[in-house]
Structure 1
Amino acid sequence: MSLTDVIEGTRQATAADPANAQVSFSVANTLVPGTATAVEVRVRDHRFAVDEPAPLGGTDTAANPVEYALAALGSCQVITYQFWAAKLGIPLEQVKVTVDGDLDLHGFFGFADTRPGFTDVRITVELAGPADAADYEKLKQQVDEHCPVLDLFRNPTPTSTTLAQLTG
C-alpha cells in the first residue's frame, strides 16, 4: 500500500466518522531489576532498552531518554516529510534529519532552579530529489505545521501523573 493510499483511506475514514481520527498510544516502562537506571520499554509487541551513560550513573547499555526524545523527533520528521511529499505530489528520493539538543544538568540534579528539559534543539533536514527549492520549502512548511513530535517540543501538552504503589 502506498502512502497516498494510506492518506486517502484515512481521509475517507475520518470524513465518515471524525472519531476515527482519535488514536491513543501506550508505552510501559519498567526498571530492570538490579540496575540503577536501565529500563525495559514495551510498545505493542516491541521491546527496547533505555539506560544512561556511565557519567550519569548508568551502564550505557542503550540510549538515554533524552536521546530517544531527539530520535523520536528526528524519525517523526522523516516520516512526516515522506507523508507530506506524497500528499503534495513532490518527488522526494531521500530524507536525512539530524537533531541536536542541549541540556543543562543543573535542573535534572536540582543544583539550581533551572529548567530540566532541553535549552535548545536544532533540526537539520537534508532532502534529495528532482523538485526545485521552492517545492521543498513548501514541503518544510507543511512538515513544521503537521509533525506530531515537533508539536510536542514546541507546545505545552496537558500531562498528568497518577501515583500508585506497586505490590509484590
Structure 2
Amino acid sequence: MSAPTRASLRPLIDATAAAVADDPDQAHAVFHATGIGGEGVRTHVRLGRHDLLIDEPPVLGGEDAAANPVEHALAALLSCQVVTYRFWADKLGIPLDGLAFEVDGDLDVRGFFGFDEAVRPGFGEVRVAVTLTGPAEQERYDELQRVVDEHCPVLDLFRNPTRVVTTRVTA
C-alpha cells in the first residue's frame, strides 16, 4: 500500500498569517470539553462533535474499557507533535516523507494516592522519540526539531506551568 498523497499546508499557513495580520483577535482560539462521570471511574467526554470514553485499568479501579487520562495526555502530545512537524516542515520547505513517534511517561502512583506528599501526582519524566524520514540533510531535520520544540502547543503544556482556574458548583 502506498503512502497517501498529502496536500501542502502552505495555503492554510498563508491565509492564517493574513487573517491574523489584519485582525490580531483572530489568533485567539478557545477549545471546550465537557464530561460526566460514568460507571466506576469511567468518564464520558464530549469535544465538539467527538465523544471519548476514558477509563482506568483494574489496578486503579476501572475496567480498562478505554485509555486512561494520562495515556490520553501522551496521545495528545504525540498527535500534536505530528501536526507541528507537518506544519513547520511545510513552512520551512523541509521535505518530510514520514513520521513515527514513541512517547513514554513515568508516573509514581504514590503521588496520586497521597502515600508520599513529596511525590508529584503527574509524570516525573516524559520521553519522546521521533523518527523522521525524507531526503533532506540532517541539519535541516535538526532545525525542524528545534522549531517544533519551540512551537508545539501540547509540548508547551507539558514543559511550562499553565494557569488553571477551577470553579466548583454544588447542586
- TM-score scaled by structure 2? 0.94
Who is 1:137 aligned against?
142
Instruction: Name the SS of the counterpart of 2:45 in structure 1.
Output: strand
> 1:100 aligned to 98, 104, 116, which one?
104
Who is 2:122 aligned against?
117
1:7 is aligned to 2:13? yes
Rounded to whole Å, the distance in 1 between the matches of 2:87 and 2:14 is 11
1:66 partner amino acid: V
Rounded to whole Å, the distance in 2 between the matches of 1:125 and 1:37 is 33
> 1:26 aligned to 12, 20, 32, which one?
32
Rounded to whole Å, the distance in 2 between the matches of 1:147 and 1:87 is 14
Rounded to whole Å, the distance in 1 between the matches of 2:46 and 2:102 is 25
> 2:88 aligned to 81, 84, 99, which one?
84
Instruction: Name the SS of the counterpart of 1:122 in structure 2.
Output: strand
Give runs of aligned pairs for residues 157-168 of structure 1, distance below 5 A.
Answer: 157-166=162-171
Instruction: Name the SS of the counterpart of 1:116 in structure 2.
Output: coil
Who is 1:36 aligned against?
40
Instruction: Name the SS of the counterpart of 2:99 in structure 1.
Output: strand
> 1:63 aligned to 60, 64, 67, which one?
67
- TM-score scaled by structure 1? 0.96
1:2 Cα deviation from its structure 2 partner:
3.3
Rounded to whole Å, the distance in 1 between the matches of 2:16 and 2:133 is 27
1:98 Cα deviation from its structure 2 partner:
1.0
User: Alignment identity in percent?
Assistant: 53
2:131 partner amino acid: E
* Backbone CA RMSD of aligned residues: 0.8
Instruction: Name the SS of the counterpart of 1:126 in structure 2.
Output: strand
- 4+ runs deviating over 3 angstroms: none
> 1:50 aligned to 39, 48, 54, which one?
54
| Structure 2, unaligned runs of 5 or more | 1-6
Who is 1:73 aligned against?
77
| Structure 1, unaligned runs of 5 or more | none
Give runs of aligned pairs for residues 137-156 of structure 1, distance below 5 A.
Answer: 137-156=142-161
- Count of matched residue positions in the alignment of Structure 1 and Structure 2: 164
1:165 Cα deviation from its structure 2 partner:
2.0
